[in-house]
Structure 1
């Protein structure tokens, strides 16, 4: 039997869903919100709302449900955004290589991913300039 996926790999994020989760996080970051207000602002039904809450929890983003039927971020919005995966931007290899040139942690992370992709499992591909 295969191992159970955890974290970002266990949540299917289409671009619209990732955008909706981002909006949910930012709305909750402004302060406690009622479920009705969140449903209205996100244009969701109750089932979709609870699926999105479960997706956030699977990603390690905690949302607190208060006694007065309000929901709020349990941590900082910036911490939650750091856990929210970005959907595939549809870059080509040249674009990814160009974006990987830099000195920030994000540049280094992208460069590592690009190099891993280019070198493959057997390390057969030559490194680009």
Structure 2
């Protein structure tokens, strides 16, 4: 039975789920883990665990299960963390503008998002209707 492909932008994460996925990735960084150990450490039931695995797959993060029924992260944890969206931090526009000042790739990415938001879809300032 084939898996259906899900668009990563369609994955919506609550702050609790994003934090749990982060913990799952950091646990897998330490090497292969059994499902029972992961369930215990994440305080999850089996259904929630498989939903989280599906969310990771939808984000392009691969987790394999081996012959010994241990789960393993495919690739580096840093690459996986780069694909894991950060939930809305609840910033106001002034905070976002202040955080976008800098020369790192993270600063530039935030600045681009802030400018896109502030300038609207037509390149001009957003005006209330």
- Structure-2-length-normalised TM-score: 0.91
The runs of at least 4 aligned residues of structure 1 exceeding 6 Å deviation read none
In structure 2, the CA distance between the partners of 1:45 and 1:73, relative to structure 1 (3 Å rule), is same
- Output aligned runs, 1:6-21, within 5 Å: 6-7=7-8, 9-21=9-21
2: distance between equivalents of 1:122 and 1:73?
42
Task: Tell me the residue number matched to 1:98.
Answer: 98
Task: Tell me the residue number matched to 1:23.
Answer: 23
In structure 2, the CA distance between the partners of 1:22 and 1:106, relative to structure 1 (3 Å rule), is same
Q: CA RMSD in A?
A: 1.4
Q: Which runs of 5+ in 2 are unaligned?
A: none
Task: Tell me the residue number matched to 1:112.
Answer: 112
- Structure-1-length-normalised TM-score: 0.91
CA-CA distance at 1:122 after TM superposition:
2.6
Q: Secondary structure at the match of 1:52?
A: helix
